């Protein structure tokens, strides 16, 4: 009798620890430009107003589980500076992007709060360098950076991709996001 009771208690405790956060709640102060999903993928864009009234768009693509509601397995944020001559984001753009990336890492990828400062510092460092590719692990989460110049007007697009192994919502990945 004790073993079934212990198993029941552990399953209830594990379910209670799992914290689902709706993805759209991470974008404080932003306006939704687009949002859509289909089997296994999602995408969208949010617009922020920076000091001086300038718009800054954060685009995203998601890798989703097929269970309902879909859970995020991977998130890629695409941002661009707005000047084809300059690859790096401006300070207000970078602060906004770093905050969005850090909030997503903590809420959707169960990153420990103690790793937030290191993650933000890394995002700022790769933005300032001329590097076109880099990656860093923060505990179980991998953050990849890629900068490309578009073939049209030549704008630089910086992509930050967050991912981790295992299944969102199951130990040890108990903090996760839904879409």
Predicted local distance difference test score (pLDDT) of residue 150: 82
Residue 140: C-alpha distances to residues 4, 83, 109, 125 (Å): 32, 35, 9, 21
What is the distance between the alpha carbons of residues 117 and 6, in angstroms, rounded to a whole number? 39
Predicted local distance difference test score (pLDDT) of residue 1: 53
Q: Could you state, in order of their start, the residue ranges of all structural domains in the chain?
A: 19-178
Predicted local distance difference test score (pLDDT) of residue 12: 41
Predicted local distance difference test score (pLDDT) of residue 178: 96
Q: Is 18 helix (H, G, I), strand (E, B) or coil?
A: coil
CA dihedral 94, 100, 105, 111 (to 10 degrees): 80
Show pLDDT as tens, one digit a residue, over the chain (179 residues): 555 444 444 444 444 456 899 999 999 889 999 999 998 999 999 999 999 999 999 999 999 999 889 999 999 999 998 888 889 999 999 999 999 999 999 999 999 999 999 999 999 999 998 778 999 999 999 999 999 998 777 899 999 999 999 889 889 999 999 99
Predicted local distance difference test score (pLDDT) of residue 14: 41
Predicted local distance difference test score (pLDDT) of residue 71: 95
Residue 41 CB partners (closer than 8 Å, separation 6+)? 61, 62, 63, 64
Predicted local distance difference test score (pLDDT) of residue 89: 95
- Locate 108 and state its tokens: 């959707």
Predicted local distance difference test score (pLDDT) of residue 11: 43
Residue 134 CB partners (closer than 8 Å, separation 6+)? 126, 144, 145
């Amino acid at each position: 009798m004790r073993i079934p009771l212990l198993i029941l208690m552990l399953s209830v405790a594990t379910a209670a620890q799992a914290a689902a956060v709706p993805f759209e709640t991470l974008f404080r102060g932003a306006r939704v430009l687009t949002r859509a999903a289909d089997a296994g993928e999602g995408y969208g864009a949010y617009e922020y107003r920076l000091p001086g009234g300038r718009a800054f768009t954060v685009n995203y693509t998601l890798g989703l589980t097929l269970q309902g509601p879909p859970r995020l397995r991977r998130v890629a944020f695409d941002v661009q500076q707005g000047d084809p001559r300059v690859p790096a984001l401006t300070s207000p753009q970078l602060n906004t992007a770093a905050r969005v990336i850090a909030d997503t890492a903590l809420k959707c990828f169960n990153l420990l709060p103690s790793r937030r400062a290191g993650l933000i510092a890394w995002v700022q460092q790769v933005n300032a360098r001329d590097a076109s590719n880099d990656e860093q692990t923060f505990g179980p989460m991998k953050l990849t950076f890629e900068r490309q110049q578009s073939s049209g007007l030549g704008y630089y697009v910086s992509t930050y991709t967050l991912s981790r192994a295992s299944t969102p919502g199951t130990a040890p990945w108990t903090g996760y996001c839904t879409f």
